[in-house]
Chain A
Amino acid sequence: MCIPTREEMYAALAERHGEELQKKLSAASVAVCGLGGLGSNIAIALARAGVGSLHIIDFDKVDISNLNRQQYFPEQLGMFKTDALYDTLKRIAPYCDITRDCIKLNDENIPSLLTEDIIAEAFDKADQKAMLVNCILEKMPGKYLVSGSGMAGIGSSNTIRTRRITERFYLCGDGVADVADGLGLVSSRVLVCAAHEANAIIRIIAGETDAC
């Protein structure tokens, strides 16, 4: 099966998005930290939009409990998420430059690992989210950071929003719906938050950094 050339894929995207935006998307590089319900969906949205480089990071393997919301297939159970998602992303966007790191991010390795201009926080544990956000804001304040917090359950989608907290730090989610309260994660609502993060990132790439 012959796939389109790099130029054909680019031309099709530019026709959709406009040449100006596509040029920016093509030149952009984004790190997606965590490849679960948020991260796998964010990465796919960005790959489809034609973001030039993606850096995908997660230490975990695909589990059956992930399949209700994460972009993995049953045949990928047991694979490292970085490998499984890499395969999927390459099928979606063959010319996207993808680097993968199967590693648990922490205070020490974040500064050397995250070289991209834009970072998507997509972890699932509250203290990990806080760790990444604090580390970026403290040690790498020049980076754009988009984080997600509060998306559990099947409450209204309308309470999920994007807030610009400081000049380069955006927070998506409803801020309150917590898995710790016994609310499960459901595909639809996780997708709403992931889409907020992906859209915030695309807006940053486009230069629309003022408003949310």
Chain B
Amino acid sequence: MLTINGKEYEFNGRTVSEVIAELGYNEQQIAVELNESIVPKAQYKSTVLYEGDHLEVVRFVGGG
């Protein structure tokens, strides 16, 4: 199990890109931190998630 924004998921072995798509996020409107480090957008497809990882997905909304 790994956590995404505090909730547990069975996404071991999946890439950040796959997980983002599955959870319905728009890649252009988010920032992703994996274990407290930013995941560059260029590395979404190549970054694989493992047991115990902690992902924080920040979704930005319009207005300001």
Contact = CB atoms under 8 A, between A and B. Distances in A.
A123 B64 contact: yes
Q: Which secondary structure dominates chain B's binding surface?
A: mixed
Nearest to B36: A166
A39 B64 CA distance: 8
Interface string B1-29: 00000000000000000000000001011
B33 to A, nearest CB: 6
A150 B40 contact: no
A138 B58 contact: no
Contacts of B61: 126, 149-150, 152, 173, 175-180
Interface residues of A, number: 39
Nearest to A41: B64
Interface in A179-197: 179-180, 183, 185, 190, 193
Nearest to B40: A138
Name the residue in B30, B41, B58, B60 with the highest tally of chain A Cβ atoms < 10 Å from its Cβ: B60
B38 A134 contact: yes
Nearest to A121: B64
B29 A177 contact: no
A133 B31 contact: yes
